[in-house]
Amino acid sequence: MPYNTTPTHIEILLNSAYQLLQFKKYQPALSCYSHILKLEPNNLEAKQGYADVLLESGRYEEALAAYDQITLQETLAKNELEEALRLTGIFVEDLDKREYSHLSNSFQKVYDTYYKFIELQECFGDAHYGRGEALYSLGRFEEALAAYNRAIELDTDIPQAHQRRNEILKFLNRSETPNNPLTFQFSASATKDTHNSFSINSEPNPSSTVSQENTATPQLETESHQKNNCPKKRKT
């Protein structure tokens, strides 16, 4: 049986909103994304697009608040994954008291939750990049640097984030070592004396060495804030 490749109503609306944004039709694009969010309040692509419109149109404070709503979902997704890991630890710890089918279901939840979390990393990376752009435009360079660092941790394929980060570091006369990307470590043993070990590292680590801070303001670029769209790239 062939797959249904007909675009859904939401997909058509998302494409329309994206095209409006590309042509700098900001108010119609904003209205379109708002309509999508009324239909699907948790649609991350619509949330990302809505924030992008605000950023592109120079409404930086509003854009920052919109991006913050997306990064909040990153925290919720991380908490969901950590809870799945914790529950799995309980199953493995009491392996001799439980059916193997229960253990299998528990592990399946971990992997399903984990891969869902991984799939969202590009989206969250875009949101942190957008936060960085809004903060940069507002002259809040230290906060912008932290946002660009976080964007790079989550999605290394955002060249604009690397460029902005380097601009700020050069301006601040600072050297920084990029943080490691998200890591997921797993080890298990089916013995009573050995516990499962899970660890998730997805928090920024703002370690840096400051030698001197200038008082001038970096030159703001006037080009459009172009970047990848979340969670999938749309054709122009």
Task: Give residue limits of the domains in the chain.
Answer: 9-57, 64-206
CATH class label, 9-57:
mainly alpha
pLDDT band of 222, cuts 50, 70, 90: very low
Q: What is the pLDDT of residue 20?
A: 97
Window from 43-52, 120-129, 171-180 with minimum mean pLDDT: 171-180
Distance from the Cα of residue 106 to its chain's centroid = 26
More confident residue, 46 or 90: 46
For 92, residues 6+ apart whose C-beta sits below 8 A from its C-beta are: 103, 106, 188, 189, 190, 195, 196
Window from 5-9, 52-56, 109-113 with minimum mean pLDDT: 109-113
Q: What is the pLDDT of residue 78?
A: 81
Q: What is the pLDDT of residue 116?
A: 75
Q: What is the pLDDT of residue 66?
A: 97
The two structure tokens encoding residue 130 = 């957008």
CA angle 228, 231, 234 (to 5 degrees): 55
Is this model's pTM higher than 0.75 or not? no
Q: What is the pLDDT of residue 81?
A: 74
Is the torsion defined by CA of 23, 27, 30, 36 positive or negative? negative
CB contact at 8 A, 225 and 52: yes
pLDDT, mean over the chain: 74
CB contact at 8 A, 44 and 14: no
CB contact at 8 A, 132 and 164: yes
pLDDT band of 122, cuts 50, 70, 90: confident
Euclidean distance between CA atoms 41 and 70, whole angstroms: 12
